[in-house]
Amino acid sequence: MKIAAIQMVSSPELAHNLARARHWLEQAAAQGARLAALPEYFCLLGRRDDDKLAIAEGLGEGPIQQMLADAARELGLWIIGGTLPIRTQDPARVRNSCLVYAPDGALAARYDKLHLFCYDNGRERYDEGRVLEAGDAPAVAEVEGLRVGLSVCYDLRFPELYRAMGAMEGGGPLDLISVPSAFTYTTGQAHWELLLRARAVENLAYLIAPAQGGTHDNGRRTWGHTMIVDPWGEVLGCLPEGEGLVLAEIEAERLARLRAQLPALQHRRL
């Protein structure tokens, strides 16, 4: 299966971002992708943290979800819809939700970001908990025989999340890990590739990491370096900065061969 990771430099303008996302989904389909993944906050990187409250949607309604469902159906794609704000019972907080759509446009899975980023080095300060409500459970999507573990950005630093997905009832090892992200330039430069390759290797799984990558209208600079990584930790493609696509093939035979050669997932004792 050919997969596509989309890198964006999202703005505070919802309509503009949706148009750019649709453009890149069309490009992914035109280049033969069967699954395409958008970055975290593809729909909006506002001037303030609470700007996302104004565009929050109820599950199953609103222009963001409509664009994703329409694109999946019209382009015949599986779409991992980065993240978008889904309303909660608290008007001051939203869930940072990743929605997966099947090629018929139906919602196939939902994951709400579990781990909320907080960082302060004296120059940069972020605290997602100000406007986000944390999710409460891991989620796995079934995509044409592949088990796809859903995670978002800061989740990448918590390897136990991926172990929990692999241990879910009726499941098994993850075949593909999805990590839509908006890593800061500072933390991305230090840890992004290291963490991505580690998660792929320790789970013997492919990994798709679509990212925000550039300087945004709000002055924030994101790290970018959208990547697809194979189960041996090889980087199959990387886009350092700016909008674009990274494409690669998931090879079921390679996945099975590597797991047979190094059956580390069967050797776990804790």
**Catalytic (active-site) positions:** 40, 113, 153
CA neighbor of 210 nearest in space, from 186, 244, 162:
244
Q: Is residue 176 within 8 Å of 206, Cβ to Cβ?
A: yes
Q: Strand, helix or coil at 7?
A: strand
> And the tokens for 172?
């098994």
> And the tokens for 176?
């593909």
What gap in Å lies between CA 261 and CA 268, rounded to an integer? 16
Q: Which residue has tokens 């999202």?
A: 10
What gap in Å lies between CA 150 and CA 8, rounded to an integer? 19
- Residue 261 CB neighbours (<10 A): 9
Query: Which residues face 176 on adjacent strands?
Result: 148, 206
Q: Is residue 248 within 8 Å of 2, Cβ to Cβ?
A: yes
Using CA atoms, how far residue 105 sits from 19, 101, 114, 182, 189, in Å, is 18, 6, 26, 26, 36
Q: Strand, helix or coil at 108?
A: strand
CA–CA–CA angle 142, 146, 148 (5° rounding): 65
